[in-house]
Amino acid sequence: MPKGVPPAAPVGRWRAALILASVAVAVVAAAVGGWWYARESPPHQGPLVLISIDTLRADHLPAYGYTKVRTPAIDALAADGLVFERAYSHSPQTFPAHSSMLTGRLPFEHGVRDNVGYVLRDEEQTLAELLKNRGFATGAAVSSYVLRRETGIAQGFTFFDADLPAAAPESSVGAVQRDGAATAEAAERWIASQDNRRFFLFLHLYEPHKPYAPPGRFARYADYDGEIAYADEIVGRIMQSLKDRGLYDEATIMLVSDHGEGLGDHGEQEHGLFLYEESVRVPFIVKQPGSEGAGRRIAVPVQHIDIVPTLLDLVRAPIPSNLHGRSLRPLLDSGDGAIREQGIYAEAFYSRLHFGWSELYSLTDSQYRYIRAPREELYDLQRDPREQRNLAAERQQSAVAMRGAIDQLIAGRALEAPDAVSAADEERFAALGYIGSTRGGAPADASELRDPKDMRGVLEKYRAAVELASARRFPEAIEGLRAVVDAEPGMVDVWQQMGNLLLRSGRAEEAVAAYRTVVELRPRDANGLVAVAGALMRLRRVEDARANADLAVTIAEGADARARAAAHEAVVRVALVQKDVEAATRHAAAAQEADPTLPLPAFVRGRVLYEASDYEAALAAFEEAEAGLKDRTLQLAELQFYIGDTLARLDRYHEAEEHFRREIALFPQNLRAYSSLAMLYRASNRDRAAAQAVDDLVRVAPTPEGYALAARLWTIFGEKGRADAVRAAARERFRN
């Protein structure tokens, strides 16, 4: 029997099986009926616009009864369209949710289970591909690195704009984003370029995703609501653009979110851990051509995987047989239209993949939400919409039926354990001092894993430490992270973050130890070895760094392109210090082969020429590398520094200053860039600017290394008093 979506009603096992069978029949009947309908009805001819506002809770919009923020643009769209009062996501994470939204398939079908480590497979058919085959122009503009082209989400889009601000490779994927206004501007340019009204636009806004930083004009609202108000302003801009071009009235516009935000409900401030209403209920507003259906509200539960069949139905395109969502057209066309009931599936793998706790599954229908967890949960959403009273023990028949439906859905779809480390690699791990490096495999029985309900306090402590780190309160952040791993030593992400902060704080030996724990917990992930190599380079333990980088290359074989490229780049950087030009050149080529957007060969060539004092030729090579990074978000560490230093050696000081500043903006931990900038200012008699550069150096690197460099600069500048003051401050700071 084909795997369909489970029924809505919580009934006994035999009844559940009967309805599951009827769903398969209904899918076939709907497809046949849709084919005949397509022959008899004219297709939609105007634009199709899908707007996704990331992390937007439905119950924080006035259209859903909220009163603490104003959203005039979304209110107007709701007045012109239909409001689905109960719409749901299939995942509380951006990439899996959008993958379902744009393929019409559930996460265990399209295979994207988390924001990182997954790619939407080429064999998946996206809405853009299906509409392109029907003659639609297809364009997208996105605001987050999570949805970059390399994830596969761009499939089918002729135009896909993800021109995000340049960022350092170590930036978290969630932090790499662009202002929604810039994304809207890219979308408007594409709309203006269309000479046909049959186009599909996907617009993704990252507001109100954390970190919340609304423009000052929205300061009267709470930060999260201020970001919603800003997103509304951007939506209004797009609506006005459509109106100015005479496209609004004939357009079908869908406004939705990928998931919600915890905001402290059930103990989670952000999202990813739980599957309660605040995390998976999303706004869903549909405006049709003209005023058809304007102002209606629909209480029937709907879901992300209904979007693709709905839009295909509207343009009279065939609906692929592997889609188990429903066309919502009967509800759009008529106030008394009906669609078949369907249980709505969701999953949360964030806790499993990042912290080693149990994943969660849920099933939601018109009355209940069941959550499959080590301690199962059942809530009556009609009587208990805030999900405060767990009824699993009281209404066992309903819980058993819904658990069985989930089990049937995910049968054979369990998350695979990490690959085993080969005997040869295990020996190499042991030679490098990694004891117990075979840990990290998933338990055979998921019931052995911790229930996320019991661990939410630990997660919030981790997130609080990350907030402290963002505020540059590194010692407090490190202590917070250490308290977390003392209680939960298997939390890989926390060890990684702690290593990063220790390194930024100048505590490289401790960073090495933290990164080694990452490797032991996750031996098949080469990124841990790359981090160890980088920390060892800071300690000038070059041979040890090379051994770890070489092992990273071996482990990264078969991994994703970014991991392979990062491993080869680690070897390149060590080899350049060792003056092993052959190895640096070879691994640079391998890195570029893995990731063609990474112009590492030109960078290596520039470094070799720079060391040979051939600065004109070196500059040409560095500028070639810079040009190769033009359309790449993640930049190359030290490239801007070397361009600046080379220009300075060619007496092109004004140009050099610009590149030193770029390096600092991208990689604020590059102390040589601050030093070179300070010396450039001093040489050009800009003493105040030089002093500011030295102060900035100590501010971003309040470490023994940072203070020592600042004192050395003041000594070079002939200001012994200032040098002594810096040394005294260092002694006071590090007296313990």
Supply the CATH number for residue 110's domain: 3.40.720.10
Rounded to whole angstroms, the Cα distance separating 81 from 288 reads: 6
Within-domain flag for 369: no
**Torsion 228-233-237-242 (CA) sign:** positive
SS3 282: strand
Give the residue with greater pLDDT, 469 vs 385.
385
Residue type, 534: G
Whole-angstrom Cα distance, residue 668 to residue 471?
14
Residue range 158-169: mean pLDDT, rounded: 87
- The answer as to whether 224 is a domain residue is yes
**More confidently predicted of 469 and 255:** 255
- Which of 207-221, 437-451, 639-653 bottoms out in mean pLDDT, i.e. has the lowest? 437-451
**CA separation (Å) from 446 to 352, 357, 362, 372, 647?**
10, 9, 16, 11, 58
Nearest of 566, 583, 565 to residue 574 by alpha carbon:
583
Instruction: Report the range of poorest mean pLDDT among 104-113, 240-249, 424-433, 561-570.
Output: 424-433
Among 109-118, 167-176, 502-511, 524-533, name the one with the lowest average pLDDT.
167-176
Report H helices in 578-703: 581-594, 600-611, 615-628, 639-649, 653-666, 671-683, 687-700
The whole domain housing 242 covers 44-339
- Average pLDDT of the chain is 89
> Residue 169's pLDDT is what?
73
For residue range 609-620, what is the model confidence (pLDDT) as tens digits? 999 999 999 999
The number of domains in the chain is 1
What are the tokens at 423?
């005997």
- Find tokens 């051939």 and name the residue: 614
Q: pLDDT confidence of 10, banded at 50, 70, 90? A: very low
pTM: 0.85
* Chain length of the chain: 736
Has residue 294 got a pLDDT over 70?
yes
Percent residues over pLDDT 70 in the chain: 89
CA dist 685 and 141 (Å) reads 46
Catalogue the E-assigned strands of 296-373.
Answer: 297-298, 302-303, 344-348, 360-364, 368-372
pLDDT value at 17 more than 70:
no
Residue 245 lies in a domain: yes
Question: Residue 303: inside a domain, yes or no?
Answer: yes
In a domain, 110, yes or no: yes
The pLDDT of residue 43 = 66
The mean pLDDT value for 110-132 works out to 94
Residue 575 maps to a domain = no
- pLDDT for 27 equals 39
658 located within any domain? no
Which residues 6+ apart lie within 8 Å of 574 measured at CB?
Answer: 533, 537, 542, 545, 546, 549
User: What is residue 34's predicted lDDT score, i.e. its pLDDT?
Assistant: 41
How many angstroms separate the CA atoms of 183 and 176, rounded? 14
List pLDDT tens digits, range 238-256: 999 999 999 999 999 999 9
Q: Which of 456, 452, 454, 443 is nearest to 358 (CA)?
A: 452
Higher-pLDDT residue of 646 and 337 is 646
Q: Is the dihedral of CA 590, 591, 592, 593 positive or negative?
A: positive
Tell me, what's the pLDDT at 15?
A: 34
167 occurs within a structural domain: yes
Average the pLDDT over 408-412 and give the result. 91
**Position 663 pLDDT exceeds 90:** yes
**Residue 362 reports pLDDT greater than 50:** yes
Asked if the model's pLDDT at residue 513 lies above 60, the reply is: yes
Q: How confident is the model at residue 177 (pLDDT cuts 50, 70, 90)?
A: confident
